[in-house]
Amino acid sequence: MNRSLIFLPLLLVCSWALSPPCRAEDTLVTIESCMEKAIPYADAIKLAEESLFSAEQDRLRARSVLIPSVELTGRLSGERTDMSGASSPPDSVKEKTYAAFAGLGFQYSFYLNGRELMVYDASGVLVEKAGMDLQAARQDYMLQVAATFFGCIRSQKGLAIAEANLARLTSYQDAVKRRIEAGILTETEQFRANAELTEGQASVTEALNQRAVSRRALQRLVPLPDDFQLAEPNDIPTPALLALEGCVELAEKNRPELKALELASRVADKEVDVAKSTYWPKLTLEGAAGIKESTIDGSYDALDVDYDKDTTHYSASLTLSLPLLDGGLRRADIRKSLSDKRSVDHRLRQATKEIRLAAERAWYDHNTESQRVQALADGLVYSRQFLEAIIRQFQEGLAQSLDLVDANTRLVEAENKLADARFALQLAAIRLRYASGLTPVDLPSPPGGESTGG
């Protein structure tokens, strides 16, 4: 037997024993890595990318109109003629003709005011607009992912608060039992402790369900394994240090929605010019060249003939056309394009007002949540000190169990309020970045300058 086969199971066992175990860091997900995974996964972003690709193809189509069309043609033909009893000689004609033709033709038409160049320029602006729409789709999806990510962090914090509260209530129940056994407290205190403990267990169950729902919501947006762990993010950098008007100006300058509408307004101007160009004459250039080779075999009365004939064809034409009567079609097209232009301008002004208001609201919300977090953090310190003082008094017999329950409830409420405020502050930070036209989360630059877009 081959000795390598004998040592093969031993090698497999050793490799399994020496292989490093799966660590928690392998499934640890930061908000930056979450964004990088989400962008190629989003169908909304893929739709915007397809729209950009379609706009690029439309630009190629518009460019093709500027190039004359050239066509190569080839034709094979055969013909047979039998004729007799003619009134003039020859009385009988029999003829077979075989021909081969090859030719090259071209055609080019354009309006004298350069309508085709206008359409080509408009197609380039549409490509830029599609790029802005893609950027807006990415920022919208990143905002959604960031909000869901922080929602998961909040649910984890809520579960930790509920579990800590349950541990305190369990200790409180044990303390009540000992005091009842010592004859210090009555059975009524035991009932209150049991009720508080049951409520704490229900809070833990509710927190577990909330965490499961938030994790599933994040997995719907980002392809993550079931055992993923979220890393606590650092503070989100915001332009809140700027004045209110500075943030508003930043939003008007950077928001891709405004840029897309500005580009749409430029396209509408060009569409008006394109509609007016139908009143200009249209010039059409056509030309063709070809060679025809024919072989003729026949007889004319008693004369037999057999010969070849080569024919060269050339043609060229210049056509100038101008519609005189169209039933009001051109006038209606111009009016429609002018109406589209006014509609785009109205949408641009409306979007500008909405974006200014959104930037102002986001700036005020961020400042408010910042001050609120600081105040609630101080309140949490006081609530914790109050609970510790009540516990010491309860141990010395100077405080009742109802005071201890009330102090614990105050601490849990303070912890939840602070967690909610920090969650609101993080959301306010990413919404302020979004409202200012920045990405909700800064992503690391890819190596080599490659794009991270999906």
Residue whose entry in the numeric block shows the structure tokens 């785009």 = 344
In the chain, where the domains are located: 72-111+282-321, 136-281+338-439
Q: What is the pLDDT of residues 67-114, one digit of tens each?
A: 999 999 888 888 777 766 555 556 666 777 888 888 899 899 999 999
Domain 136-281+338-439 classification at class level: mainly alpha
Amino acid letter, residue 22: C
Q: What is the pLDDT of residues 29-61, one digit of tens each?
A: 888 888 889 989 899 999 999 999 999 999 999
User: CA 61, 66, 69 angle in degrees (round to 5)?
Assistant: 85
Q: Over 50: is that where the pLDDT of 301 sits?
A: yes
What pLDDT score was predicted for residue 263? Answer: 95
Mean pLDDT, the chain, rounded, equals 84
384-388: which pairs have CB atoms within 8 A and are 24 or more residues apart?
Answer: 384/411, 384/414, 386/410, 386/411, 387/411
Which strands form 69-84's sheet, in the order they lie side by side? 69-84, 92-111, 282-300, 303-321
Between 277 and 80, name the one with better pLDDT.
277
The model carries a pTM of: 0.77
**Position 209 confidence tier, pLDDT thresholds 50, 70, 90:** very high
Q: Over 50: is that where the pLDDT of 421 sits?
A: yes
pLDDT mean over 398-416: 84
Q: What is the pLDDT of residues 191-208, one digit of tens each?
A: 888 888 899 999 999 999
Between 141 and 172, name the one with better pLDDT.
141
Q: What is the pLDDT of residues 218-276, one digit of tens each?
A: 999 999 998 889 888 777 666 655 678 888 888 999 999 999 999 999 999 999 999 99
**Position 185 confidence tier, pLDDT thresholds 50, 70, 90:** confident
What pLDDT score was predicted for residue 258? Answer: 94
End-to-end, the C-alpha distance of the chain in Å comes to 55
Q: What is the pLDDT of residues 352-392, one digit of tens each?
A: 999 999 999 999 998 898 889 889 999 999 998 988 898 88
* Least confident span in 148-152, 228-232, 360-364, 401-405: 401-405
List, in sequence order, every residue forming a beta bridge with 101; answer none if it has no partner.
75, 292
What pLDDT score was predicted for residue 245? Answer: 84
